A = this chain, B = another copy of it.
């Protein structure tokens, strides 16, 4: 690891060789002016390399004389050695706490992957076990059936009694036992022999694990014996063409052939991902042992071809939450008949297998710490509890956190404004986009960062309205109301201004208010307060990109000590992987799903009251956000 030291902040961060300097500054909480997202178009992110080796593409925005003196555009520069960087203007913003939170988040992210590794390395047999058997050949005096021989060997060698056999395996049996001198390997699920191979192939066992998200599909190919991931792939869920969110998919499923089309569409894409996984890892489909998948309740219903109609109608009843194991081929997956599919169990119509999967993979189900588990998306899911009890709820946050419902909203794809900062002295913004492309729009985590920066700089008031006197050159009356120009048309990728409107800000506030009211209402039902929380687990890819301090600043996450936060990334995929590796994990998932008490918040008065209180930055009740309130007060004092 290299060391990069920023002056005058006196902040040092660890970096890999080749890391981008603008990105490093953002992650370190060091402000560098940047208006074009990191595309090299605005020329504002000039820095002076005081020592060390960097590589930097030349750029018309940087005069050759300046380049000769050591000036570089941070967005165009990668570090190749330990480097000391001088930033040419002093930042007024106190970024220290933010920086610490970021560094801490980085550490906890590492910590949880260690925790996950422990879960994943647990020595527990997979749901489908491969047993190598050596049979006694028959003679005229002992001519018991082939299957009887296999059953005896399973009993004697592996203490597995009364095994039955699937029809396809039985058809293969006479040839398999005789093709390799009465040595064979049986793949067994519970007491069912699913398939047979000649010789000893027990060392080669592979499974696939999928996360079936409303927006994205993720897959991993897993080497069961090596307990490793051989390949990982992802793609959009192509059901998006029939509707962005679960509700619109349910609506589509009620059309003629709608359900079948939704089912086939996702199955086809999973087959595509599976083919990629096999291709990447050099594994043949015929050697695949089993498949696990986790998805929310609607995705689970759709994959199984079950009408999701009643998930959407009060009283919101799923067809099933604990789905029986079935043949993967029965849902259209292009694998041999003998490959079973295990779906992580759901809890209720809006608390699905993705959440159960994460609760198991994160170890929350077994923790003594009172834990809040949060998965943020269009539907935010919340779990509160510890090893003795678990309560869960979902709240409809709306699409703001996925970039939906914003005038210039977009998913976290290249060009999405994500990193955002304002120099309170110069009021210059620091804009860094995903992939450092010219800005195309704002993604969910970007919106949170923008709101937090606006709050901190006083650009918006506690009710989310712009202070129009404050920053007139960037605030104007647009077609959709009052708006702030993040990127002017000439620097954007869309040839239009990238703006955020008061109405956009209102949408983000509603979204965070719904989430926060959810935790609050659940805690209250359990007779607990935020201060009782010993651990907060943030799941989901969105959580991976979110800035913890900013999320707390706007009132999305509770204002408790930052070291209680843990980020687990895609908990759904992690749990699916754990299930593929360990039958005990699959069993645990059922136990956990049964243990989780679902609370319907949609018709809960306490939730509604709390939601109204949350429509303020960070909250109407400032006592709930002591550190945020204190920082705003300090800033108010220092600026007044």
Q: A-side interface residues toward B, CB under 8 Å?
A: 138-148, 164-167, 170-171, 173-175, 178, 304-307, 309-310, 314-324, 326-327, 330, 348-349, 598, 600, 603
Contacts and interface: CB of A to CB of B under 8 A. Distances in A.
A170 B304 contact: yes
A139 B315 contact: yes
Contacts of A178: 310
Given A174-B319, A310-B174, A324 B167 contact: yes
A104 to B, nearest CB: 40
B310 A147 contact: no
A148 B307 CA distance: 17
Nearest to A166: B324
A316 B143 CA distance: 7
Copies of this chain present: 2
Given A167-B326, A174-B306, A304-B170, A317 B144 contact: yes
B321 A148 contact: yes
A320 B145 contact: yes
A304 B146 contact: no
A393 B330 CA distance: 43
B143 A320 contact: no
A307 B171 CA distance: 7
Contacts of A142: 315
A143 B174 contact: no
B320 A170 contact: yes
B317 A143 contact: yes
Contacts of A317: 138, 143-146
A318 B165 contact: no
Contacts of A165: 320, 324
B315 A174 contact: no
B140 A315 contact: yes
B320 A147 contact: yes
A323 to B, nearest CB: 7
17 contacts: A138-B315, A143-B315, A143-B348, A143-B600, A144-B317, A146-B319, A147-B320, A148-B322, A165-B320, A167-B326, A167-B330, A170-B319, A170-B320, A171-B306, A174-B310, A174-B319, A175-B307
Contacts of A603: 140
A179 to B, nearest CB: 12
B324 A170 contact: yes
A319 B144 CA distance: 9
Contacts of A349: 143
